Structure 1
Amino acid sequence: MVTSMTSFDILEETYQLSQAILSSDVFYHYKECKNKLQQDKEAQSLIRRFNQLKEDYEEVQRFGKYHPNFHDTSKKVREQKRELDLYPIIAEYKKAETELERLFNEISSIIASNVSPHIKVPTGNPYFDQMSCSGGCGSGGSCGCK
């Protein structure tokens, strides 16, 4: 295996970047929220109930609105999802997860734009997707690209 000094330097910089992420406040908050979520018995119970309902819903979906329990199951899934989303520890975890994802998206966009302005980074976030758009998106320029 032939390794140039540049490859080694890139790997070293990558390691340093990953260590910076692991020691960031955003990552620390995410890990703290994840630990709270894993230790909270009520949150785990809500998640298990939601997963069971989701399995039931997937079974009902095979037949669609013609299944006798379609409306009841759909309603139960929506209600359980809302209860899950409103539970404070789960909501805090999801917020922390979104913040960590935002950090990763920002880092990816910075790296890609430093390599070439033509690299598109699909982040799932319209703000960053527009930032990395450099034309040819087919929207007629409505995204702000040139």
Structure 2
Amino acid sequence: MRETVSQLSILEETSGLASMVAQSEAASAYRYWKNELESDSEAQSLIKRFQYMKEQFEEVQRFGKYHPDYAAVNKSVREMKRDLDFHSTISAFKKAEKELDKLLIECSQIIAESVSPSIKVPTGNPFLDSKSCSGGCGSGGSCGCG
């Protein structure tokens, strides 16, 4: 019975944390910019064109620099990526997405460290993963993850 009460308490705390995150400025900004991005026809057109160019690039990549269209497709993909990065709605959405991701990572790290300092929380950023093992644990324990 004591275990059930403890589990129920953990579920209540988790629900409260989820609610706080959902009501945060970062989550609100993310939802706002996601909606703006989905309703921005110019941004959607750029995204679709980029996806098409990315498919072309992947096809050319199979043959590498020996493909006759390699240079042209490679240049087009880079230009398209730059256009995406400088589009105001897309860049605002990406910024909001990074802020929410940062908040979620911070929450995960606090939770993990409260359980045990040896729990690893992947951040997707090798510079922030100071405690993580980048060698797939094939380094004989020299990575410090063991």
TM class, shorter-length: 0.7 to 0.9
**Alignment partners' CA distance in 1, 2:45 and 2:128:** 36
Stretches of structure 1 lacking an aligned partner (at least 5 in a row) = 140-146
Secondary structure of 2:119's counterpart equals coil
What is the CA deviation profile of residues 103-132 of structure 1, one whole-angstrom value per residue up to 9, with x for unaligned ones? 0110011001100111121212356422x5
**Alignment partners' CA distance in 2, 1:5 and 1:76:** 59
Q: CA deviation at 1:100?
A: 0.4
Q: What residue number does 1:39 align with?
A: 39
Q: Percent identity?
A: 50
**Alignment partners' CA distance in 2, 1:96 and 1:16:** 22
Q: CA deviation at 1:64?
A: 1.0
Q: Judging changes above 3 Å, is the alpha-carbon distance between structure 1 residues 4 and 26 closer, same or farther for their aligned structure 2 residues?
A: same
Q: TM-score, normalised by structure 2?
A: 0.86
Which one-letter code corresponds to 1:40 in the other structure? D
Q: What residue number does 1:144 align with?
A: none
Which one-letter code corresponds to 2:143 in the other structure? G
RMSD between superposed Cα atoms in Å? 1.9
**Alignment partners' CA distance in 1, 2:142 and 2:96:** 31
Alignment of 1:18 with 2:18, yes or no, is yes
Pairwise mapping of residues 128-143 of structure 1 onto structure 2 (< 5 A)? Answer: 128-130=128-130, 132=131, 138=143
Q: TM-score, normalised by structure 1?
A: 0.86
Q: What residue number does 1:125 align with?
A: 125
Aligned length: 135
